[in-house]
Amino acid sequence: MPELRIDLHTHTTASDGSFAPKDLAKAAKEAGLSAIAVCDHDTTAGVRETQMAGQELGLEVVPGVEISALYAGGTMHILGYYCDMENPGFQADLQCILDGRNNRNPRIIARLNELGMEISLEDVEREAGGGVLGRPHFARAMMKKGYIKTVQEAFDEYLASNGKAFVPKEVYPPQKCVEAIVAAGGTAVLAHPKQLRRKSQAEIEAVVDELMQYGLQGVEAIHGDCEPETAEVYDAMARKRGLLVTGGSDFHGISKPDIHLGRGRFDYKIPYAYLEALKERRAAASTTS
Ligand code: AMP
Ligand code: ZN
Ligand code: FE
Ligand code: FE
């Protein structure tokens, strides 16, 4: 029997993915995946609909979220799997994080205006279509107006952390993000360690060690944008610490055209065994607590 393949990091139109939940489920099925996790930025709003579509198609859909943490110099995203989405405290935390995110948006617009671009918040909101607004929506609005040619160009010049129009989000520190996931019964996993932009592997490992003190349970060793050699380093980093290893493409649809669902940029095959290990860890924790 061929090995079952999965993707534990995907986005929908509930945040900055371009696939609506039901289209994501359909695409995952067509890509031959047996399970996906929906990990939208700071919201679980796309999970249920993807699960319902998945149920009809025979696709397992894991509830997930990708929480933005306050972090200098790079991006820290913490993935939360199997959080209780009905937990009011958890949804209140996500709302606080969304408020911090949304406070930033008019400030990015002001910067772009100062740089001579005629672009309004409404232009960007139109791109988001009611979903959580993220920088890829700014990039798409800039592209539509002809200020840049590709989403990547918008990031490189304006939106990345060293870009001319970058404004940081006022969100939670990492500890609070991990604790929010744990308090909602979820499993916290450090997303794409490479994007921490630390100078050395030792610095990345120090971040992981710190997060473990707050309840971190895993590392996303395989990430759609990360070279296989580096993924192996992250895999070893996780296993050395007894952490779970996870993997996902970070599929966003048209915002990242080179990142393929289930495969990323480097034709990854992510085994179902990763999800099985995650479930086993959860089951073991619930019988001992
Ligand atoms: P935001 O949620 O507004 O911070 O935007 C985060 C999203 O922007 C990420 O999930 C990526 O989709 C995209 N992104 C962040 N940094 C870059 C970059 N340097 N190049 C391309 N896309 C990026
Ligand atoms: Zn994104
Ligand atoms: Fe991310
Ligand atoms: Fe992501």
202-252 pLDDT per residue, tens: 999 999 999 999 999 999 999 999 999 999 999 999 999 999 999 999 999
Segment 120-135 mean pLDDT = 96
Predicted confidence (pLDDT) per residue in 255-270, tens digit: 899 999 999 999 999 9
Q: How remote is the CA of residue 209 from the centroid of ligand 2, in Å?
A: 25
193 lines ligand 1 (CB under 6 A): no
Percent of the chain with pLDDT over 90: 94
**Mean of the pLDDT values across residues 108-117?**
98
pLDDT at 288: 74
- Alpha carbon 143 to its chain centroid, in Å, reads 23
How far, in Å, is the centroid of ligand 3 from the Cα of 43?
13
Ligand 1: residue of 135, 220, 225 to mutate (most ligand atoms within 8 A of CB) is: 135
Per-residue pLDDT at 1 exceeds 80: no
Q: Which atom, in ligand 1's list, is nearest to the CA of 151?
A: 21
Residue whose entry in the numeric block shows the structure tokens 């779970």: 244
- Which candidate, 31, 75, 11, places its Cα nearest to that of 262? 31
pLDDT at 73: 79
Q: Which of 281, 218, 207, 155 is CA-nearest to residue 8?
A: 218
Q: Ligand 2 centre from 285 Cα, in Å?
A: 31
Cβ–Cβ < 8 Å for 28, 56: no
Mean pLDDT of the chain: 96
pLDDT tens figures, 41-85: 999 999 999 999 999 999 999 999 999 999 987 889 999 999 999
Nearest protein Cα to ligand 1, atom 11: 136
